[in-house]
């Protein structure tokens, strides 16, 4: 049993079966034993890169950072290039973007806190933040939507059926179940309930007086939910995708695809202007277009130039079509 698993098992013994969001919160963010907390203290537990569990675009430096900086510069000009322009990154992790965004009075916010200015104009940026938020799990069967909880039987964690959904989340689950039924018949459907998405978006954008939000992540629109009748929960360890999200808590990543339609609706409710979803490739192409990627590929020698070209290729033709970008605008 992992240390995080022991903490979860103890809570279940004290309180009974827990919501999956609580399981995921402890597994990822327990102060001592959570997956991401351990990574910050112990480089041997670092989840990123070739020796970790997965890559993100921020590991493809300096090209990714340079292109995001170019995009921020375009937005700064569009806003009028005021001196108070800032870039605030949520989910900053190891701070790999800091070097490239310092010119914009960069602030980093992560699980352990950070510097959130009380009011600013500029850009709120996040890369693979929303997919790491704890979610609840629900199952729709025989026309009834019920919460799925996590229990412990002295040997392993297991799913058990919980209470019936009510209110907005009941309507959310039934709507997505109906979307799936339009194209395929499934005896039961599993769904994730993105309970933290709207509150976090509100926190991120509340101090933004005027500017843009750029959220990069993988996910689905409401029309695309038909691809995921068993839900999107997945664990990652040593670059392998694992279906058992209840195994080895604290020692493997747990993610859920981002429901972009729900995220867009949450943004609209906050008064934000929502641009059409674009792929990461499309956004990076627009970022590099003004100088034909010259500044992103600037290098002191040919070996370095080759490395940068390979990074750009990975971004545009590897991750670029998998990840999507949601751009939101907050008018003055």
Q: Could you tell me if 92 and 207 lie in one domain?
A: yes
SS3 of residue 308 by DSSP: helix
Q: What is the mean pLDDT of residues 36-43?
A: 65
* % of the chain beyond a pLDDT of 90: 80
Q: Could you tell me if 108 and 176 lie in one domain?
A: no
N-term to C-term CA, the chain = 52
243-266 pLDDT tens trace: 899 999 999 999 999 999 999 999
The enclosing domain of 213 has a CATH number of: 3.40.50.12710
Q: Could you tell me if 15 and 84 lie in one domain?
A: no
For residue 272, is it left (φ>0), alpha (ψ between -120 and 50) or beta? Answer: beta
Q: Is residue 80 part of a domain?
A: yes
Can you say whether the dihedral through the CA atoms of 304, 310, 315, 243 is positive or negative? Answer: negative
Q: Is residue 263 part of a domain?
A: no
Examine the pLDDT at 56 and tell me if it is beyond 80.
no
Nearest residue to 88 (alpha-carbon basis) of 127, 59, 49: 127
Q: Could you tell me if 98 and 213 lie in one domain?
A: yes
At 154, is the pLDDT very low, low, confident or very high (cuts 50, 70, 90)?
A: confident
At 224, is the pLDDT very low, low, confident or very high (cuts 50, 70, 90)?
A: very high
Whether residue 235 contacts residue 253, with contact meaning beta carbons closer than 8 Å, is answered with yes
The CA-atom distances, in angstroms, between 57 and each of 43, 48, 128, 144, 284 are 19, 10, 9, 40, 11
Q: Could you tell me if 279 and 240 lie in one domain?
A: no
Q: Could you tell me if 23 and 83 lie in one domain?
A: no
Q: Could you tell me if 12 and 157 lie in one domain?
A: yes
Q: How far is CA 326 from the centre of its chain?
A: 12
Q: Could you tell me if 155 and 304 lie in one domain?
A: no
Whether residue 201 contacts residue 270, with contact meaning beta carbons closer than 8 Å, is answered with yes
The domain containing residue 126 runs over which residues? 56-131+202-218+268-330
Q: Is residue 46 part of a domain?
A: no
Q: Is residue 185 part of a domain?
A: yes
DSSP 8-74: HHHHHHHH-SEEHHHHHHHHHH-TTT-HHHHHHH-GGG--BSTTSSB--GGGSTTHHHHHHHHHHHH
Q: Is residue 105 part of a domain?
A: yes
Q: Is residue 152 part of a domain?
A: yes
Q: Could you tell me if 8 and 102 lie in one domain?
A: no
Q: Could you tell me if 110 and 208 lie in one domain?
A: yes
At 59, is the pLDDT very low, low, confident or very high (cuts 50, 70, 90)?
A: confident
Q: Could you tell me if 60 and 168 lie in one domain?
A: no
Q: Is residue 245 part of a domain?
A: yes
Examine the pLDDT at 238 and tell me if it is beyond 80.
no
Q: What is the mean pLDDT of residues 154-165?
A: 94
Q: What is the mean pLDDT of residues 35-39?
A: 80
Q: What is the mean pLDDT of residues 10-38?
A: 95
Q: Which two tokens stand for residue 281?
A: 């490739």
Query: For the chain, what is the domain count?
Result: 2
At 105, is the pLDDT very low, low, confident or very high (cuts 50, 70, 90)?
A: very high
Q: Could you tell me if 127 and 273 lie in one domain?
A: yes
At 214, is the pLDDT very low, low, confident or very high (cuts 50, 70, 90)?
A: very high
Q: Is residue 50 part of a domain?
A: no
Examine the pLDDT at 234 and tell me if it is beyond 80.
yes
For helices 280-288 and 63-79, give the axis angle rounded to 10 degrees: 70
More confident residue, 237 or 309: 309
Considering only 2-6, 139-143, 164-168, which range has the smallest mean pLDDT? Answer: 139-143
Mean pLDDT in the chain?
Answer: 92
Confidence (pLDDT) at 50: 47
Can you say whether the dihedral through the CA atoms of 175, 173, 169, 145 is positive or negative? Answer: positive
């Amino acid at each position: 049993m992992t240390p995080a698993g022991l903490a979860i098992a103890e809570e279940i013994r004290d309180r009974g079966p827990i919501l999956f969001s609580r399981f995921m919160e402890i597994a990822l963010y327990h102060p001592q034993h959570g997956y991401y907390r351990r990574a910050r203290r112990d480089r041997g537990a670092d989840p990123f890169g070739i020796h970790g569990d997965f890559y993100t675009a921020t590991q493809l430096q300096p090209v990714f950072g340079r292109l995001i900086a170019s995009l921020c510069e375009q937005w700064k000009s569009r806003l009028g290039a005021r001196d108070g322009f800032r870039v605030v990154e949520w989910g900053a992790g190891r701070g790999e973007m800091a070097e490239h965004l310092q010119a914009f009075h960069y602030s980093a916010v992560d699980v352990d806190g950070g510097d959130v200015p009380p009011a600013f104009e500029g850009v709120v940026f996040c890369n693979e933040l929303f997919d790491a938020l704890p979610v609840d799990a629900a199952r729709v069967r025989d026309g009834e939507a019920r919460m799925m909880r996590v229990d412990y039987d002295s040997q392993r964690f297991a799913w058990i059926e919980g209470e019936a959904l009510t209110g907005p989340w009941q309507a959310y689950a039934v709507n997505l179940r109906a979307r799936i039924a339009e194209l395929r018949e499934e005896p039961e459907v599993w769904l994730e309930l993105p309970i933290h998405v709207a509150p976090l978006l509100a926190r991120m954008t509340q101090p933004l007086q005027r500017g843009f939000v750029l959220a990069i992540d993988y996910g689905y629109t409401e029309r695309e939910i038909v691809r995921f009748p068993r839900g999107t929960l997945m664990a990652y360890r040593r670059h392998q995708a694992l279906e058992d999200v209840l195994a080895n808590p604290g020692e493997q990543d747990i993610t859920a695809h981002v429901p972009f339609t729900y995220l867009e609706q949450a943004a609209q409710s906050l008064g934000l202007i929502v641009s059409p979803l674009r792929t990461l490739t499309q956004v990076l192409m627009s970022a590099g277009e003004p100088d034909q990627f010259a500044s992103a590929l600037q290098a002191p020698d040919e070996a370095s130039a080759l490395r940068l070209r390979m990074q750009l290729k990975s971004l545009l033709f590897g991750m670029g079509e998998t990840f999507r970008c949601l751009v939101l605008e907050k008018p003055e």
